[in-house]
Chains A and B, each alone.
Chain A
Amino acid sequence: MRRYIRSVETLYAKSPFNLIYEHIQKGNEAVHKLEDLVQAFCDKDVDRVNAISDVVSDLEHDADQIKQGVRERLPTSVLIPLSRQDVLTFLRLQDSIPDSARDVAKSMTLREAYDIPTDLKESFMKLAKKTIEIIDEYEKLVDKMGPILATSFRDRDVEKALELIPPVERLEHEIDILGLEIGKKIYASEDQIGAVGIYHFNDVIQNMSEISNAAARAADSLRTMIYPK
């Protein structure tokens, strides 16, 4: 039966912003799997690497779906308190986080297990933990969108969010340095892991560095997005 109702409810479109939090939650969940994944990789536990990789891949797929949802909620006819273009750019950059996490997992499954020197293992684990740390920091930043929207971009809330960006950028810098160190260690380990091992391990590390790069770029675009105009 039709509702015999005239209402202005259609005026209120679905907010794309709740989905943006959901999207980074999926991304964060995927990145958090890296610790176990690196452990399994270093332990040469191929089954476990494959299993975790599947989970990460599913999370990346979920994030993709949510990203699609955000786009669907942003037709040009919807008025939002931010530049639509800024939001879409930000979303694209944030989406690189789950994408890169999946790339790390996938690249680990490509090659048979091989012995990795203890020193390299430790640095590798450190990189994974730092990557998790940067994503946790990044998520805190995205969470600040809630209060910002709730107070209609009150200066104080915008500033609080902007203050959370430098820590993300600092971590990204630290991860860069760590990546470089690991790179050196990889080349120094030719005797143990062989030339193909160097190639493969480098690939994994590159992919993992991409996660922090993505977080830093997304944080930067969030700054552009919310910066007082």
Chain B
Amino acid sequence: MLEMLLGLSLFSIVGLIAAFYMAWNIGANDLANSMGDVVGAKALTMRQVIILAGIMNFLGAVLLGSRVTSTIGKGIIPISDMDPHMAALGALSALIAAGIWVTIATYFNLPVSTSHSIVGAMLGFGLVSVIMGNIQMGDISWKVLLQIAFGWVLSPVAGMVLGYLIFSAVRLSFIERAENIGKLEGVFRYLLICSSCYQAFSFGSNDVANAIGPVSVVMGTLGEEVPIGLLVFGGIGIVIGLSTWGYRVIYTIGEKITELTPTRGFSADIACASTVIMCSSLGLPVSTTHVLVGATIGVGLARGLQAVNLNVIRNIVYSWLLTVPVATVVAMVVYLGLIWLGL
């Protein structure tokens, strides 16, 4: 182990630490947010949630995480055309910048998403590369960036539409027909466990890339395939985040959303997870939290919730408008700083 670590460059070690921090953040916040309903409905205990969500998220990351990882690692910036050292330094800067911004934004309760941060930060890395003359402006994949941006707008909308449709279907086929609502919700309590697992799986498939996309560039290991070891590493980081910090978020949410009964939580989970899986398959990094918000609003539109605060939509728009430019600028500053230091 030590030899393996010693075999790594200083860059790689710093990169892994930064990636671990991002993964921890994702587990502590984004994954935890999605698990509030299952704890709130008392379908699972906290310990069970952490174990189950951890395993499923890990599987999602390892089995389906490579596409989004490729998008973030090499889809935006043409790293193969660059000097490997400059590429590694740039990706490391992006990762550090995203980590810094996510930390600050979370601390000040600003709307933020890890996906937006890392994409913005990779763009910062690209812009500095253009300034340095390492690549041309046209080499940055604006098309991919545009697709990602569309994904950011469309994914919460898709989550909302699916949430509305799925809950309406559940309402018509089960709630309307049920003799005993309590019994029905009891059955759905078990289904909620399944839907939460599906959701944890989907989150793993999309979010792990935010942590390991850049570090795979740092380590120079991003060829055709994303190394499985890195996906495992990211998956573990997320699970540690969930178990060391995420339980606070789960408790907060779980207590707050007693209204999100099993039928409703199930509908929101399926809608959210399906949207996220779709995006992961397309290689689109999306904010899983935004999709979750969209899906929940969809359930609310189908009369599933007593009161939904639509101001959250404003926060989502702010996070698009705020996070991307800020993360871009921070990454540029970090990258230029590291270059200036002669690294």
Q: Are A77 and B309 in contact (CB under 8 A)?
A: yes
Asked if B305 is at the interface (CB within 8 A of a chain A CB), the reply is: yes
Per the bound structure, the CA–CA distance linking A156 and B181 in Å amounts to 12
Per the bound structure, the CA–CA distance linking A14 and B256 in Å amounts to 9
Q: Are B176 and A81 in contact (CB under 8 A)?
A: no
Among B109, B181, B296, point to the contact of A8 (Cβ < 8 A): B296
Asked if B311 is at the interface (CB within 8 A of a chain A CB), the reply is: yes
Asked if B106 is at the interface (CB within 8 A of a chain A CB), the reply is: yes
Q: Are B252 and A81 in contact (CB under 8 A)?
A: no
Q: Are B302 and A8 in contact (CB under 8 A)?
A: no
Among B112, B253, B309, point to the contact of A7 (Cβ < 8 A): B253
Q: Are B303 and A81 in contact (CB under 8 A)?
A: yes
- Residues of chain A from 21 to 80 with CB closer than 8 A to chain B in the complex: 73, 77-80
Question: In the complex, which residue of chain A has the Cβ closest to the Cβ of B113?
Answer: A6
Per the bound structure, the CA–CA distance linking A149 and B309 in Å amounts to 17
Asked if A11 is at the interface (CB within 8 A of a chain B CB), the reply is: yes
Per the bound structure, the CA–CA distance linking A42 and B144 in Å amounts to 84
Q: Are A8 and B308 in contact (CB under 8 A)?
A: no
Contact (A81, B312) CB under 8 Å given A3-B248, A8-B293, A15-B259:
no
Per the bound structure, the CA–CA distance linking A6 and B307 in Å amounts to 20
Interface size on A, residues (CB 8 A): 31
Asked if A153 is at the interface (CB within 8 A of a chain B CB), the reply is: yes
Contact (A13, B176) CB under 8 Å given A8-B33, A79-B301, A150-B261:
no
Asked if A122 is at the interface (CB within 8 A of a chain B CB), the reply is: no
* Chain A to chain B: the 5 pairs with minimum beta-carbon distance, closest first: A81-B303, A15-B306, A13-B307, A13-B309, A6-B29
Asked if A9 is at the interface (CB within 8 A of a chain B CB), the reply is: yes
Instruction: Give the residue among B30, B249, B292, B302 with the most A Cβ atoms within 10 A.
Output: B249
Among A14, A17, A151, point to the contact of B175 (Cβ < 8 A): A151
Chain A interface (Cβ < 8 Å from any Cβ of B) = 2-17, 73, 77-81, 147, 149-156
Q: Could you list 11 A-B pairs, sorted by A, with CB under 8 Å?
A: A2-B108, A5-B29, A7-B32, A8-B312, A9-B36, A15-B306, A78-B310, A79-B300, A79-B301, A79-B305, A152-B304
Per the bound structure, the CA–CA distance linking A13 and B175 in Å amounts to 24
Q: Closest Cβ of chain B: how far from A8's Cβ, in Å?
A: 5
Q: Closest Cβ of chain A: how far from B154's Cβ, in Å?
A: 19
Q: Are A81 and B33 in contact (CB under 8 A)?
A: no
Determine the chain B residues whose CB is within 8 A of the CB of A149 once the complex forms.
306
Instruction: Give the residue among A2, A10, A152 with the most B Cβ atoms within 10 A.
Output: A152
Contact count A vs B, C-beta below 8 Å = 111
Q: Are A155 and B176 in contact (CB under 8 A)?
A: yes
Contact (A79, B289) CB under 8 Å given A12-B256, A12-B308, A152-B304:
no
Asked if B107 is at the interface (CB within 8 A of a chain A CB), the reply is: yes
Chain B: number of interface residues, binned into ranges: 35 or more
Instruction: Give the residue among B36, B248, B289, B303 with the most A Cβ atoms within 10 A.
Output: B303
Per the bound structure, the CA–CA distance linking A5 and B259 in Å amounts to 22
Determine the chain A residues whose CB is within 8 A of the CB of B292 once the complex forms.
8
Q: Are B309 and A10 in contact (CB under 8 A)?
A: yes
Determine the chain B residues whose CB is within 8 A of the CB of A151 once the complex forms.
175, 181
Q: Are B253 and A8 in contact (CB under 8 A)?
A: yes
Determine the chain B residues whose CB is within 8 A of the CB of A147 once the complex forms.
181
Q: Closest Cβ of chain B: how far from A172's Cβ, in Å?
A: 29
Q: Are A6 and B256 in contact (CB under 8 A)?
A: no
Q: Are B307 and A12 in contact (CB under 8 A)?
A: yes
Per the bound structure, the CA–CA distance linking A79 and B112 in Å amounts to 23
Q: Are B259 and A6 in contact (CB under 8 A)?
A: no
Asked if B86 is at the interface (CB within 8 A of a chain A CB), the reply is: no
- Residues of chain B from 62 to 110 with CB closer than 8 A to chain A in the complex: 106-109
Chain B 295-332 per-residue mask, 1 if CB under 8 angstroms from chain A, else 0: 01100111111111111100100000000000000000
Contact (A12, B29) CB under 8 Å given A5-B106, A81-B303:
no
Q: Are B106 and A6 in contact (CB under 8 A)?
A: yes
Determine the chain A residues whose CB is within 8 A of the CB of B309 once the complex forms.
10-13, 77-79
Determine the chain A residues whose CB is within 8 A of the CB of B300 once the complex forms.
79, 81
Contact (A4, B305) CB under 8 Å given A9-B252, A12-B259, A79-B297:
no
Asked if B257 is at the interface (CB within 8 A of a chain A CB), the reply is: yes
Contact (A154, B306) CB under 8 Å given A2-B107, A7-B252:
no
Per the bound structure, the CA–CA distance linking A151 and B29 in Å amounts to 31
Q: A2-B107, A154-B176 are known contacts; what are 13 more A-B pairs with Cβ within 8 Å?
A: A3-B248, A6-B106, A7-B36, A8-B253, A10-B309, A12-B256, A12-B259, A12-B260, A78-B307, A79-B305, A152-B171, A155-B176, A156-B176
